[in-house]
Amino acid sequence: MIRQAQGEAFGQFQYPTPPLGRPGGAQAVFHHEWKTEEAKEKLKRTVEAYRQFEQGQMPAGPGADALLASFRAVEKELADHKPGPAKVVTDRQIELLLKKKASVLHLSAANYCWFEDPAKALCLKLAGTRSAAAPLTGLCDSSRCPQATHHIVHRSVWQTTADNGAVLLASPRIPLAEKDRLRAEQERSMRVLEEIDTAAGKAQ
């Protein structure tokens, strides 16, 4: 259910898919352009998360502490190089300091995956793979992966999953065995929602 919701919501920042039929150099040029736009989007999202951190909206999820450590390091470096109280820190300065962090980011509708260490990636462990150039999104369980974070931008996907789960659990047509699985998934979605709201300072 969460993967279906991810697919429905992913369009809001989905990258263009390079066409398979482009010949030779034209396809290579398009691939380069696509990778450039992807890198820009990753950097934009990383800066956005940093700005939210500055405003007191913290990330949630198993990888939150590691991400916060990176953000605090950037914050300290900016403070150390700030010549005076009137100095305004620009997005460009932040982008330069976050560029390396952004390069390992993999975007999903339901979470951010900071794929810095393949050995820590839960999806690779589930697949029995020791290393890979990218996460295996089909095996992603961001509520348990130490490199995954949840942010306000992901809240609607988890809310949709929780709402759909509640509807299915109330249906008399769903077998009891299936309801056990749905209940566990719905409880996970509710837990993630609570964590997102608490970390962002929006808990009721």
Query: Could you tell me the maximum CA-CA distance found in the chain, to the nearest angstrom?
Result: 66
Q: What is the pLDDT of residue 130?
A: 83
pLDDT at 6 over 50: no
Q: Which two tokens stand for residue 87?
A: 């100095």
Q: How far apart are CA 182 and CA 97, in angstroms?
A: 42
Select from 120, 115, 119, 75 the least CA-distant residue to 98: 75
120-179 residue pLDDT tens: 999 999 999 988 999 999 999 999 999 999 999 999 999 999 999 999 999 999 999 999
CB neighbour class for 143 (10 Å; exposed up to 12, middle 13-18, buried from 19)? buried
> Which range among 45-59, 82-96, 133-147, 155-169 shows the weakest confidence by mean pLDDT?
82-96
Helix (H, G, I), strand (E, B) or coil at 146: coil
C-beta neighbour count of 26 within 10 angstroms: 10
Tell me how far CA of residue 103 lies from CA of 40, 72, 142, 189, 200, in angstroms: 10, 18, 19, 28, 24
Q: What percent of the chain has pLDDT over 70?
A: 82
Q: What is the pLDDT of residue 35?
A: 87
Q: What is the pLDDT of residue 89?
A: 72
113-133 residue pLDDT tens: 999 999 999 999 999 998 899
